[in-house]
């Protein structure tokens, strides 16, 4: 029986080799067929691989369009047979294993294979931030299967993250599961969410390589790796906090971009408050423990400083009366705080923060030690809590990609959010920026920019799907893409604490429009954010949290 199968497979390979090589130079699939046939009975994978190779040969015969996906009809997680991998995969295989044979290491990777003609084209989305989730929310799942790869299964409503650090809001109020944003990820047979980090992309083979984010000894291997084929790839992996290579920042500072970081800030703050009441601590040590330092005078740093000042004035003075006079907040900024706002609004913020106990220091951080900061002028600033909020820059993953870069190191894109040097790859959000050839400025790393790009790209994909298979790999070159992406700034808002906020609804600093500060601005700020929260569920949570805090004060329970 085994010999008869091998004989039939050999005949099939010879026939398909002739089909695949008709009309000129031998194709990659024809070469693969000959190599597989040469293995014969020596490879235990040979017989089982002829079906996929045969389809690959037919795909070469049909051209590089939609027919290029005849192979891989099984959409489940599977193991790709060894010895049949293109040579281009071997360097990535070497990264995945210490074994001597890269092909065997690659074969051990489970995969989600290429789509077939009877299946919908697959869109792989890297990330679960503002850009990725807006795209996922609007993408046409009747035309595409969607796979989301991200190290977190939720989106964070970052404008309200600072409020969770002091108990104004609870953490679940500012997060929304990806499967709620796009239910197809949990319900459709061809759509998935993978809790993983993307570690590499092969744009020629249309594959991404991933490492599972949560290591678990119960998994078959640790770390557990997989690969996913795509028809269209959307890179929306975000950015990383800028440290300017200052020594000690990574080890000693806490950033404020993720929920776990907000939780860490809250635990640290409450721990220091409770420890400072213990007997035996010197005056200097109490002052250090209760000195909260914020580095970075952008909207995040200012809003956190305002929330912290409000927490101290309203809650700490009543519940930690023994040490209330030791609690201090310092905001360090190299230039002007809130530089994107009008001069009058910046001055209002400066005066308001100073009035309610936030000390503003203009300086440059030279080094961060475990218990103090060293400024460039030699000043030493002791601290018990250090929050770093100096902007964002390209992540190590983005830096590692062999793709064109825009000014500043982001992935370079054209006016349609495409990466022009490769096929079927798009980038958006904080990880992407316009190439110099487009003569467009690199847009700021703002939530409204990312959200607008995600919405635009979902509409673009809908147009592609309606144009003769344009949603499939290699089929979008001649498609009509319509109007290019255009960004129009709708304004900025920032809370400064004590029921005060700044609102600047002008398109730019020189344009005319609404620019105001005070209590009415604070009402507008809360109203705008309440309507922008992702779901009605979260709107309810946020409204209830705000009402509870107003009546009962902030919760100061230390958990964890």
Give residue-wise pLDDT tens across range 381-416.
999 999 999 999 999 999 999 999 999 999 999 999
pLDDT tens digits for 248-296? 999 999 999 999 999 999 999 999 999 999 999 999 999 999 999 999 9
**How far is Cα 373 from Cα 380, in angstroms, rounded to an integer?**
6
Asked whether residue 504 falls in the same domain as residue 374, the answer is: yes
**How far is Cα 364 from Cα 375, in angstroms, rounded to an integer?**
6
Q: Is residue 440 domain-resident?
A: yes
Asked whether residue 415 falls in the same domain as residue 518, the answer is: no
Number of domains, the chain: 2
Locate all alpha helices (DSSP H) within 501-552, ordered by sequence: 519-532, 536-552
Q: Is residue 38 domain-resident?
A: no
Q: Are strands 192-202 and 207-212 parallel, antiparallel or unpaired?
A: antiparallel
Q: Is residue 4 domain-resident?
A: no
Asked whether residue 261 falls in the same domain as residue 353, the answer is: yes
**How far is Cα 560 from Cα 556, in angstroms, rounded to an integer?**
13
Neighbouring residues of 153: CB distance < 8 A, sequence distance ≥ 6: 128, 177, 178, 179, 193, 195
What is the pLDDT confidence band of residue 106, given thresholds at 50, 70 and 90?
A: low
Asked whether residue 372 falls in the same domain as residue 520, the answer is: yes
Asked whether residue 274 falls in the same domain as residue 205, the answer is: no
SS3 state at 510? coil
Cβ distance 381 to 375 under 8 Å?
yes
- Domain with 326 in it: 254-390+490-552
pLDDT tens digits for 451-479? 999 999 999 999 999 987 778 998 877 78
pLDDT tens digits for 311-333? 999 999 888 989 989 999 999 99
Q: Would you tell me how many other CB atoms lie within 10 Å of the CB of residue 120?
A: 21
Q: Is residue 127 domain-resident?
A: yes
Asked whether residue 368 falls in the same domain as residue 497, the answer is: yes
Q: Tell me, what's the pLDDT at 78?
A: 39
Asked whether residue 265 falls in the same domain as residue 373, the answer is: yes
Pick the closest to residue 379 from 364, 392, 390, 397 (CA basis).
364
Name 177's bridge partners: 154
Asked whether residue 111 falls in the same domain as residue 128, the answer is: yes
Asked whether residue 311 falls in the same domain as residue 332, the answer is: yes
Asked whether residue 494 falls in the same domain as residue 517, the answer is: yes
Angle between helices 46-62 and 2-20 (to 10 degrees): 20
Neighbouring residues of 343: CB distance < 8 A, sequence distance ≥ 6: none
SS3 state at 361? strand
What is the pLDDT confidence band of residue 215, given thresholds at 50, 70 and 90?
A: low
Of 468, 499, 527, which residue sits at a domain end?
A: 468
470: Cα separation from own chain's centroid? 27
Higher pLDDT among residues 112 and 73, named by residue:
112
CATH number at residue 348: 3.50.50.100
Q: Is residue 360 domain-resident?
A: yes
Q: Is residue 363 domain-resident?
A: yes
Q: Tell me, what's the pLDDT at 506?
A: 87
Q: Is residue 32 domain-resident?
A: no
Cβ distance 463 to 480 under 8 Å?
yes
Cβ distance 13 to 33 under 8 Å?
yes
Q: Is residue 433 domain-resident?
A: yes
């Amino acid at each position: 029986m085994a010999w008869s199968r091998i004989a039939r497979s050999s005949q099939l390979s010879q026939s398909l080799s002739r089909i695949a090589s008709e009309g000129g130079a031998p194709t990659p699939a024809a070469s693969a067929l000959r190599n597989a046939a040469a293995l014969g009975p020596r490879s235990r994978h040979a017989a089982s691989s002829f079906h996929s190779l045969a389809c690959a040969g037919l795909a070469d015969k049909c051209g590089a369009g939609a027919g290029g996906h005849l192979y891989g009809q099984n959409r489940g997680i599977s193991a790709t047979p060894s010895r049949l991998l293109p040579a281009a995969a071997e360097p990535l295989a070497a990264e995945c294993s210490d074994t001597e044979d890269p092909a065997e290491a690659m074969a051990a990777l489970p995969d989600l294979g290429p789509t077939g003609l009877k299946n919908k084209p697959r869109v792989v989305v890297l990330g679960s931030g503002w850009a990725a989730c807006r795209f996922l929310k609007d993408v046409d799942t009747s035309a595409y299967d969607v796979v989301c790869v991200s190290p977190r299964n939720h989106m964070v409503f970052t404008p309200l993250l600072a409020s969770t650090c002091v108990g104004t809001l609870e953490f679940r109020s500012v997060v929304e599961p990806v499967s709620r944003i796009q239910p197809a990820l949990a319900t459709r047979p061809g759509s998935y969410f993978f809790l993983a980090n993307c570690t590499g992309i092969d744009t020629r083979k249309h594959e991404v390589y991933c490492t599972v984010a949560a290591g678990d000894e119960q998994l078959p291997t640790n770390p557990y790796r997989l690969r996913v084929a795509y028809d269209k790839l959307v890179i929306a992996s975000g950015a990383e906090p800028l440290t300017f290579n200052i020594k000690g920042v990574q080890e000693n500072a806490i950033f404020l971009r993720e929920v776990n970081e907000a939780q860490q800030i809250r635990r640290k703050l409450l721990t220091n408050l409770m420890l400072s009441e213990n007997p035996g601590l010197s005056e200097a040590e109490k002052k250090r423990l209760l000195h909260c330092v914020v580095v970075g005078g952008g909207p995040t740093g200012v809003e956190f400083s305002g929330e912290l000042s409000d927490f101290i004035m309203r809650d700490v003075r009543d519940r930690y009366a023994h040490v209330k006079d030791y609690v201090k907040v310092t905001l360090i900024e190299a230039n002007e705080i809130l530089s994107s706002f009008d001069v009058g609004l910046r001055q209002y913020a400066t005066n308001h923060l100073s009035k309610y106990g936030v000390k503003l220091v203009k300086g440059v951080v030279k080094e961060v030690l475990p218990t103090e900061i060293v400024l460039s002028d030699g000043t030493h600033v002791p601290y018990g809590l250090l929050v770093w909020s100096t902007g964002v820059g390209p992540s190590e993953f983005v830096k590692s990609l062999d793709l064109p870069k825009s000014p500043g190191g982001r992935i370079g894109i054209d006016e349609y959010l495409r990466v022009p040097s490769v096929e079927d790859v798009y980038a958006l959000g904080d990880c992407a920026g316009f190439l110099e050839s487009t003569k467009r400025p690199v847009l700021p790393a703002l939530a409204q920019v990312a959200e607008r790009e995600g919405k635009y790209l979902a509409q673009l994909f809908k147009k592609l799907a309606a144009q003769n298979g344009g949603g499939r790999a290699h089929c979008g070159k001649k498609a009509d893409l319509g109007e290019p992406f255009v960004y129009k700034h709708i304004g900025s808002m920032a809370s400064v604490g004590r029921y005060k906020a700044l609102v600047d609804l002008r398109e730019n600093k020189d344009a005319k429009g609404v620019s105001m500060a005070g209590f009415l601005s604070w009402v507008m700020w809360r109203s705008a954010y309440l309507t922008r929260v992702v779901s009605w569920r979260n709107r309810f949570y946020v409204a209830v949290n705000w009402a509870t805090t107003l009546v009962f004060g902030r919760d100061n329970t230390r958990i964890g």
